[in-house]
Homo-oligomer: A and B are copies of this chain.
Amino acid sequence: MVEKAVCLISGGLDSCVTSLIAKKQGYEIYAISFNYGQLHKKELDCSNKIAQTVGVEDRIIIDVDFQKFGIFSLLNTSSDSIQDHDLKDIGREIPLTYVPARNTVFLSLALAYAESIDADAIFIGANAVDYSGYPDCRPEYIQAYQKMADLGTKKGVEGRSIKIEAPLLHLTKSEIIKTGLKLDAPLADTWSCYRGGELACGRCDSCVLRLKGFKDVGVKDPLRYERYPDWYTS
C-alpha cells in the first residue's frame, strides 16, 4: 500500500524541494498550506502551482488568524517594516520577521490533518543551516516535536508514529537548490521574498539567502528581482 505524507507547501523554495523529495520517496502527497495574513501572499499563489507540478492527491488551505495575537512584521500591511539585510547579519539573532510559534502551529495543524487521513509522515522544509535565527527550525526542536506528537496522538499511542521529516534540515541553501535542480523543481514558481511586491525585493534576508544560494551553485535564479545585490551580479 502506498504511504501517505502530508507536505507543508508554503510556496517557498524549501517546501517545494521538500515535497518533491517526499514524492520521490514514493509517498502520496497531501498538501497543506496556510493563509495567516502573510505580507507575501504571492507564496500562496506559488503553492498552487507547486502543488500542481508535484502532483498531490489533495490539498487544503487553513486560515490561521495570527493577527489576533498581535502585530509582527511579516503580517503588517506595509512592507516598510521588513528590514533589509546584509549577508553578514544573517543568523546572528532572531529576526523581526519571526512569528511566534509559527512552525509549532503549522506542524500541529499538519499533525491533525495527518492523523485524520491516516498519513505516515509529515514533511516540512525547515532548515537549520541558513535558518536565519528562527528557534523552530533547529534539529533539537524537530526531535522534541516528534516526541510530543508520538505521545499526543492516537496513532502514536498505538505505536504507528507519524514521522516528522525535515530532509533539508542540515543542507545549505546551495545544496537545497542543487537538490531542487536534480528533481526538476519548478524553482521559477517559488517565492521567497518577505515583501509583497510585484517582483522579489532582493534585499530582505530571505531574498539575500536565496540569491547567495544560487550564486554559490553558479546558476542564475529564474525568479525576477527588483534589485540585485552587488555581490550577486559581480
Contact = CB atoms under 8 A, between A and B. Distances in A.
A63 interface: yes
The A interface, classified by DSSP as helix, strand, loop or mixed, is helix
A104 B108 contact: yes
Contacts of A148: 104, 141, 144-145, 147-148
A66 interface: yes
Contact of A152 (B63, B64, B112, B145): B145
Contacts of A138: 151
Chain A interface category by residue count? 35 or more
Stoichiometry, as copies per complex, reads: 2
B70 A60 contact: no
B112 A101 contact: yes
A134 B28 CA distance: 29
A68 B30 CA distance: 12
Contacts of A62: 65, 68
A216 to B, nearest CB: 28
A100 B154 contact: yes
Interface string A32-53: 0000000000000000000000
A160 interface: no
Interface in A134-178: 135-136, 138, 140-141, 144-145, 147-149, 151-154, 156-157
Given A72-B116, A103-B152, A104-B108, 20 more contacts: A62-B68, A63-B65, A66-B112, A69-B116, A70-B116, A94-B157, A99-B112, A100-B114, A100-B154, A104-B111, A104-B148, A108-B108, A135-B152, A135-B153, A136-B152, A140-B151, A141-B148, A145-B148, A145-B152, A147-B147
Interface of A: 60, 62-66, 68-70, 72, 94, 98-105, 107-109, 111-117, 135-136, 138, 140-141, 144-145, 147-149, 151-154, 156-157
